[in-house]
A and B are shown apart, each in its own frame.
Chain A
């Protein structure tokens, strides 16, 4: 009975430590938020690396909002309301903006498909047909010379 209690205690302790550890590991930092935003002063730098005064003020504001218990989405939405969608360092993966994310892979996938099909078609044709030689007239010339050689050999007598 006692050992059962000890095991339960150890398990609970382990789970609690895990919970604390995960929470510590996942605790929201200023950089977590700032690395998803662009400094709106027009310098074109990311908010987490910009050294302009306005960027510093925004990072302080983010810190205050984290301390108030706001989550990442709430903080980001606040800045979108303030500065518009362009404050986001990358477009969201929904609605019209999804096209931005999907198009490169779609185009590459399409390209890969076309290449694959073309090679497969060529390779398959190569298996069933005589290999295509470039028509440089070499064949005809060869035939001409072979015929001539054959004829001369036939005519050739000691």
Chain B
């Protein structure tokens, strides 16, 4: 089967090259026949790579240890779910997943655009196939998922125990869906530049793709944070590791793009800037893959150390940037804005500052991530840029962003009047000040936390008042009840209110991040059976320590009774497990989660005499982070699935843009 997989990749490479040649011929000779043939070739590449993907999945399912990749990342005693997730546990599988998603997206684009975007599509396909060609070359010559072993091992090495976690089953595909998804707006942007169709058509055509990719990247980052929280056993969720940073940076630039593109749609401005943002976002997704796969920076995600792969990725990123920006420069005269800003106090200008902060944050993280390399190149000294750097740099940036989250959506377009400012911000301002006074007694020693909570209240108040105002206006207009008015307000304006809901999700995230980082309490205690210790208002008593073997690990589990105010509120069972295949010991966290705080217990050590050492962390408000993630997902899905009225608006916009193109 492995040989079949390898040959399907080789065939895909040839068909991919053919599709590029057919597009070139079709565009040059304006021949529909060649264009049609190239589209069929794209679909064929999609089929062939899918075949390779399915073969690799099948090899994992049937434990085909003849394949080196399967033998290195799976074992017979691994459960089916983890055997399937082992597909992306290593470099070769991850790259195959990248390529698979890319060609599936390319195929979907061909089907989606059968009757529209006829001029753009050949260039879109060419861009997608160009990227595909790079990954196929990697999969065939450098990082081979179908490499066969010269012998048949009786069992595989097994999956890295750290990756045996539900979060890790979903985190990589979610990040990859996000990464690869941004290749679609990038391909449309390149097509728009090539065809000189530089209006809003490419933006309207990729709206759902951008939201989908942004959603996947958001979910991927949050799942990654959840995994780190549950698996790495240090009570935190974000270590500012190069690999974590690598997926946060494109998320930030994509968020900037999502905002600035609204100005282009509404006022025909920032056309060059939007192009720059989407090119940078796509290049950063490749940079993300490069950081993970090159092993150039030391990371907790120490999957691979492949200098050749690093060089190839770097060359590819260089090519993308040089070609895209050269093309952009050659079209700069056609990208002039249709309007100019009228006032410093307008939605457009606050959006510009929002973009500045988001891109600035992306730059700060990028800079911190690559600075060790710069230091080594210039001074020859290896240094570390870790959490203290990012915390100091990112806290003020994050707070500024939170402030703009409140201001941007509610300030008037073109020019805000004093009346507009008073109407939208007076009550939220008063509410946030009152809120600040109420929480002062808990936050007096944490000024950043105080500012963050006050700003969170301010943002939440602006949004809630905006919802209430809209629902009331609708009730007066339609004479419906409040609740019905509220729901029809949202369903009739999904784009707008979806955006507000995403902002509420972000507020929850900020509350969670602030609470869990400013007010975290930690304690390390060693106790024997029957003994107890206290942390904050919790009392933990060691009931027992049990050891027993399972299929692939030897478990040592401690049972702790948890008391609060003298009353038993539950039990926790932290574990320390020895994975026999990998000869590796890992901790399994025990967690008691509430909206107020998480009680997080790790069994760090145990001895023959029955004593056990526990690290206990109390992380206030951390649940709000995960809750914020759920709200964010809900808001994005709402903004993606438009109602009839909004679809019609968008279609009218598309037609207007088409007509403009004809003029």
Name A residues whose Cβ lies closer than 8 Å to a Cβ of B: 35-36, 38, 42-46, 49-51, 84-91, 96-97, 100-101, 103-105, 107-108, 111-112, 115-116, 118-120, 122-123, 125-126, 131-132, 134, 136-137
Contacts of A90 in B (CB 8 A): 384-389, 392
Q: Are A44 and B239 in contact, with the CB atoms below 8 A?
A: yes
Question: What is the bound-complex CA distance between A69 and B393, given in angstroms?
Answer: 32
Which residues, 350 to 375 on B, are CB-close (under 8 Å) to A?
A: 352-353, 356-357, 359-360, 363-364, 367-368, 371-372, 375
Give how many B residues have a beta carbon under 8 Å from the other chain's beta carbons: 52
Q: Are A125 and B340 in contact, with the CB atoms below 8 A?
A: yes
- Least distance between B605 CB and chain A CB atoms (Å): 9
B388's contact among A89, A107, A126, by CB below 8 Å, is which? A89
- B435 within 8 Å of A (CB atoms): no
- B236 within 8 Å of A (CB atoms): yes
Contacts of A91 in B (CB 8 A): 371, 375, 383-385, 389
- Least distance between A142 CB and chain B CB atoms (Å): 16
Contacts of B387 in A (CB 8 A): 46, 89-90
Question: What is the bound-complex CA distance between A79 and B15, given in angstroms?
Answer: 57
Q: Are A51 and B383 in contact, with the CB atoms below 8 A?
A: no
- B330 within 8 Å of A (CB atoms): no
Q: Are A119 and B384 in contact, with the CB atoms below 8 A?
A: no
Q: Are A119 and B349 in contact, with the CB atoms below 8 A?
A: yes
**Residue on B with the closest CB to A135?**
B338
Q: Are B368 and A100 in contact, with the CB atoms below 8 A?
A: yes
- B446 within 8 Å of A (CB atoms): no
Q: Are A96 and B384 in contact, with the CB atoms below 8 A?
A: no
- B298 within 8 Å of A (CB atoms): yes
Question: What is the bound-complex CA distance between A35 and B239, given in angstroms?
Answer: 12
Answer whether A104 and B393 are a contact pair too, CB < 8 Å, given A36-B388, A97-B375: yes
Contacts of A86 in B (CB 8 A): 372, 381-384
25 residue pairs from A and B, CB less than 8 Å apart: A35-B388, A38-B386, A42-B302, A44-B299, A45-B232, A49-B236, A51-B234, A84-B382, A86-B372, A88-B384, A89-B384, A89-B388, A91-B375, A91-B383, A96-B375, A96-B378, A97-B383, A100-B367, A101-B393, A104-B360, A107-B363, A108-B397, A112-B356, A123-B343, A131-B342
Question: What is the bound-complex CA distance between A85 and B372, given in angstroms?
Answer: 11
Answer whether A107 and B360 are a contact pair too, CB < 8 Å, given A51-B615, A90-B385, A115-B352: yes
Question: What is the bound-complex CA distance between A51 and B233, given in angstroms?
Answer: 9
Question: What is the bound-complex CA distance between A104 and B384, given in angstroms?
Answer: 17
Answer whether A96 and B340 are a contact pair too, CB < 8 Å, given A90-B388, A107-B363: no
Contacts of B232 in A (CB 8 A): 45
- B29 within 8 Å of A (CB atoms): no
Contacts of A131 in B (CB 8 A): 342
- What total count of A-B pairs have CB within 8 Å? 129
Q: Are B356 and A115 in contact, with the CB atoms below 8 A?
A: yes
| B183-226 interface code vs A (CB 8 A; 1 in, 0 out) | 00000000000000000000000000000000000000000000
Q: Are B339 and A46 in contact, with the CB atoms below 8 A?
A: no
- B241 within 8 Å of A (CB atoms): yes
Contacts of A43 in B (CB 8 A): 300
Which residues, 378 to 414 on B, are CB-close (under 8 Å) to A?
A: 378-379, 381-389, 392-393, 397
Q: Are A134 and B268 in contact, with the CB atoms below 8 A?
A: yes
| B578-607 interface code vs A (CB 8 A; 1 in, 0 out) | 000000000100000000000000101000
Question: What is the bound-complex CA distance between A105 and B400, given in angstroms?
Answer: 13
- B235 within 8 Å of A (CB atoms): yes
- B344 within 8 Å of A (CB atoms): yes
Question: What is the bound-complex CA distance between A104 and B371, given in angstroms?
Answer: 12
- Least distance between B19 CB and chain A CB atoms (Å): 38
Q: Are A122 and B386 in contact, with the CB atoms below 8 A?
A: no
Q: Are B235 and A49 in contact, with the CB atoms below 8 A?
A: yes
Which residues, 232 to 274 on B, are CB-close (under 8 Å) to A?
A: 232-236, 239, 241, 268
**Residue on A with the closest CB to B337?**
A134
Q: Are A44 and B367 in contact, with the CB atoms below 8 A?
A: no
Q: Are A45 and B300 in contact, with the CB atoms below 8 A?
A: yes
Q: Are A111 and B381 in contact, with the CB atoms below 8 A?
A: no
A132's contact among B233, B234, B340, B384, by CB below 8 Å, is which? B340
Contacts of A120 in B (CB 8 A): 344
Contacts of B299 in A (CB 8 A): 44
Contacts of B234 in A (CB 8 A): 45-46, 49-51
B342's contact among A100, A112, A116, A122, by CB below 8 Å, is which? A122
Contacts of B437 in A (CB 8 A): none
Q: Are A42 and B298 in contact, with the CB atoms below 8 A?
A: yes
Question: What is the bound-complex CA distance between A73 and B344, given in angstroms?
Answer: 47
- B433 within 8 Å of A (CB atoms): no
